[in-house]
Amino acid sequence: MFKKTLTALSFGALLMAFGSGDVAAKTLKVQASSKGGDWAHRFMTDKYGPRLEAMTNGALKIDVLPTKAVVPHRETIDAVANGILDGDLNAVSYFSGRDPAFAIIGDLIAGYDTVDQVRTFCMHAGGKEILQKLYDKYTKGKVHVIGCGPYAKEAFVSTIPIKTVADMKGVKVRSPEGLAAEVFKRAGAAPVSLPFSEVYTALEKGVIDAADASAHVNNNASGMYKVAKFPIYPGIHSMAVLQFIVNKKVWEKLGKSGQTALEMWYAASYDAMRREADLQDRAIAAKQRAGNDITVIDWSTKERAKFREIAVGAWHDFAKKSPLAKEALDAHLNYMRSVGLLK
């Protein structure tokens, strides 16, 4: 009871601060990694975008733009640093070409079992701090990191049954270049680099057998399971980490109340999106299992551990490419050992 009262008082004080003119009215223009119309994008624009305005008595608003709306997806950090965008809600791994540390923070392929584990690493066990170091280096301190973490563990889309690591041998897998492709290659698969927009057609025509795609709810909405009848759910590989960064000058002008509101809004929105995506993923999988058209495959703990062991070698080799990449991997490994994922 005391805790609830204290929270209500804190939130009330925050509203009073905005009402007193502590923060000038501002609409934050941010670009996301999701496409317009995607479930994830609708969630942010329809459900959670308006809540920032409500939280701040209209002093702060946020305009969540779809991917590529202002700049190409790999150029958002420059746009944020230069004030073209106020911020982004983009995938960290997009920037792996600048430093391999972005890949290690952005998606430690096959590393974690749950979204909660990755969000905890990002927000409380060193991930956010390393991301800030990267932006201090590559934008000369012009970007402030508010937070990072995934909202879903991606399902694995496949036109053939893949029940074990051994079944990966020779499978043509659409995969992003870099760390993900290296892990699949070491598992015996044949990685193919394709833009996401071409995945459905490539699966349909047999150009690829399987794909690193998206969350189960997004894959379902995209119609992937019309041609890929053997999804692996829960997924075995990817939990793409999304960041929330803002221009440093914009951040400073928000004042303490605005900064606190933005941090609270971010935490609440991605926690809600994670939970809703999980519920929808589960409902879709249950419906698929009840039908006769789609076979949902769930790897055993033993096979998941085998895949992680393969991935560990790729992580270490990738981490040798830069000092910050090594620091990022060390932070991951320390946390993973603390929660029993690695010995």
Condensed to tens digits (0 to 9), the pLDDT of residues 58-82 reads 999 999 999 999 999 899 999 999 9
Confidence band of 342 (pLDDT split at 50, 70, 90): confident
Question: Which residue in 199, 211, 222 sits closest to 39, CA to CA?
Answer: 222
Confidence band of 128 (pLDDT split at 50, 70, 90): very high
- The domain tally of the chain equals 2
Dist CA 31 CA 80 (whole Å): 9
Domain annotation covers residue 118: yes
pLDDT at 213 over 90: no
What is the CB neighbour count within 10 angstroms for residue 319? 23
141 and 166 together in one domain: no
Q: Which CATH number covers residue 21?
A: 3.40.190.170
pLDDT of residue 177: 78
- pLDDT higher for 8 or 53? 53
pLDDT of residue 1: 47
How many Cα atoms occupy the beta-carbon half-sphere of 179 within 13 Å?
34
Write phi, then psi, for 142 (nearest 5 degrees): -90, 0
Domain annotation covers residue 25: yes
Domain extent for 160: 156-236+294-338
121 and 223 together in one domain: no
The overall average pLDDT reported for the chain is 90
Write phi, then psi, for 341 (nearest 5 degrees): -80, -30
pLDDT of residue 132: 98
270 and 227 together in one domain: no
34 and 171 together in one domain: no
What's the average model confidence in pLDDT over 148-168?
Answer: 95
pLDDT of residue 343: 78
Give helix 2-19 / helix 248-290 axis angle, nearest 10°.
Answer: 130
Write phi, then psi, for 163 (nearest 5 degrees): -105, -15
* Cα distance from N-terminal residue to C-terminal residue, the chain: 41
The answer to which of 12-21, 28-37, 174-183, 304-313 has the lowest mean pLDDT is 12-21
Dist CA 68 CA 73 (whole Å): 5
60 and 192 together in one domain: no
Domain annotation covers residue 119: yes
pLDDT of residue 159: 97
pLDDT at 97 over 60: yes
Domain annotation covers residue 285: no
Query: Contact, 100 vs 325, CB < 8 A?
Result: yes
- pLDDT higher for 14 or 144? 144
Dist CA 264 CA 16 (whole Å): 16
The predicted model scores a pTM of: 0.85
pLDDT at 10 over 50: no
pLDDT of residue 18: 53
250 and 119 together in one domain: yes
pLDDT of residue 24: 53
pLDDT of residue 16: 46
